[in-house]
Structures are given as structure tokens and as C-alpha cells.
Amino acid sequence: MKEKVIIGCDHGAFELKEKIKKFLAGSGYSVSDAGVYNEERADYPDIAEKACGEFLSGGYAFGILCCGTGIGISIAANKINGIRCALLHDLYTAEMSKAHNNANFIAFGGRVSYADPVESMIMKFIKTEYEGGRHEGRLQKISSLEHHL
Ligand code: RB5
């Protein structure tokens, strides 16, 4: 069965989201699109909420969020319990976001120029395994921050 991925973006990354969808579909993934569906202005927290809610309903391997910089939408996603959204910059951060942080979302900016192609960063994230071990306690500490007052 095809692995499922959820993707969402605001107007600042519509083109990038469409490009990523094509790439993932061509790589054998089943992609669910949480919007936006055109370049009309949208608020990235709404898309983060929708995509993360869908992810948490179950059955998804991971999620991808994009806005102009990737910053706003990743900040919004990380407010939601259970979400670890990593804003990737290059192949190194793509690898570490899985190996050390076991991110369940990755984020990109549609207006950002990356030295490494976004497709390569996605594949690096997919192919890397979470190392567990000493990182597990740190992830548990992140989870406990969800209850911080
Ligand atoms: C929208 O203009 C822009 O602010 C948004 O896409 C994102 O870059 C925010 O972090």
C-alpha cells in the first residue's frame, strides 16, 4: 500500500507545493492536499491547523508545510500537541530532523533560494532513520513542554 503524506501551504508557496505534490506522486506516495488551492491570500496558521489535524487523525507517514519562508507555518504547526515540524535548510538539516528529532512534519519556504533541491531534502528526510537512544528522552522533554503553563 502507498504511504500517505499530507501537504499544505499558503499563497507564498503555492507553486512549490504543487511541485512537491508532483514529485511525491511520481515517487509512489499518496498525497493529500490541505490547501491552499490557488494563489489567493490565506493565513498560514489556518493551513497548519488543517494539515496537522488531518495528520493526527492517523495513517500518514509525515507532513509537509510551506509558506513564503517556511517560518510562520512551522511555528504555527509546532504549537499543536504531537507535532514536531522541522524547518529545513539543506541536506544536513533534512537528515538531522529525522535522525535526532524524529520530525513528523518538514517545512520549506516558497520564496527561499535553497542550495540543495527541495526534492533532495525530502528524499534525505524519508531515507534517514530516527536514531532513538539518547534522543528519545529529549523528545519526551519536548512533549512535556506541551503542558507548560
Ligand atoms: C505571507 O506573505 C508570508 O508572510 C508567509 O507566507 C510566511 O512567509 C510567513 O512566515
pLDDT over 90 percentage in the chain: 97
The whole-number average pLDDT for the span 97-115 is 98
Sequence-ordered list of residues with C-beta below 8 angstroms from that of 47, at least 6 positions apart, any chain = 8, 9, 10, 34, 35, 36, 65, 67, 73
> What is the best residue among 15, 73, 78 to mutate for testing ligand 1's pocket, by most ligand atoms within 8 Å of CB?
73
Distance between Cα 110 and ligand 1 center (Å): 9
Interatomic CA distance for residues 57 and 4, integer angstroms: 12
Q: Where are the domains of the chain?
A: 4-148
* 1 band by pLDDT with thresholds 50, 70 and 90: confident
Distance between Cα 69 and ligand 1 center (Å): 6
**Across 21-30, 55-64, 140-149, least confident range:** 140-149
pLDDT at 71 over 90: yes
68 neighbors 75 (Cβ within 8 angstroms): no
Distance between Cα 27 and ligand 1 center (Å): 28
Q: Which CATH class is domain 4-148?
A: alpha beta
- Residues near ligand 1 (Cβ within 6 A): 10, 12, 44, 67-69, 71-72
pLDDT at 20 over 90: yes
Single out the residue of 4, 35, 1, 9 nearest to residue 118, CA to CA.
Answer: 9
Sequence-ordered list of residues with C-beta below 8 angstroms from that of 69, at least 6 positions apart, any chain = 12, 109, 111, 112
What residue's CA is closest to ligand 1, atom 10?
72
Interatomic CA distance for residues 98 and 1, integer angstroms: 22
The whole-number average pLDDT for the span 48-75 is 98
The whole-number average pLDDT for the span 28-33 is 98
Interatomic CA distance for residues 63 and 74, integer angstroms: 11
What pLDDT score was predicted for residue 9?
98
